């Protein structure tokens, strides 16, 4: 029983670490993109980059929900 509980706790810790990484990655990319958006880009190019980053961040945001639903 104690061994089973230990495995469950360990699995939960790994799940939280994975979810944390999945959340931080798009947020870090978004932060970098916003910080560098105006540096040497034409307005249309900057807008296109931001759209791509927001799209990627939105797609990544669905993964944690899927993990919690299991």
Q: What are the pLDDT digits (tens) for 11-69?
A: 999 999 998 888 787 778 778 777 777 677 788 887 887 787 777 666 555 544 444 44
Confirm whether pTM is higher than 0.85: no
**Is pLDDT of 6 > 90?**
yes
Contact 48, 64 (CB under 8 A): no
CB proximity list for 27: less than 8 A, separation 6 or greater: 57
Q: How many domains does the chain have?
A: 1
Q: 38: domain range?
A: 2-69
Give the count of beta carbons closer than 10 Å to the beta carbon of residue 61: 13
């Amino acid at each position: 029983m104690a061994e089973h509980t230990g495995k469950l706790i360990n699995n939960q810790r790994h799940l939280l670490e994975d979810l944390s990484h999945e959340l931080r990655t798009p947020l870090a990319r978004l932060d970098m993109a916003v910080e560098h958006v105006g540096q040497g880009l034409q307005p249309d190019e900057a807008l296109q980059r931001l759209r791509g980053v927001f799209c990627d961040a939105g797609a990544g945001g669905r993964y944690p929900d899927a993990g919690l639903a299991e």
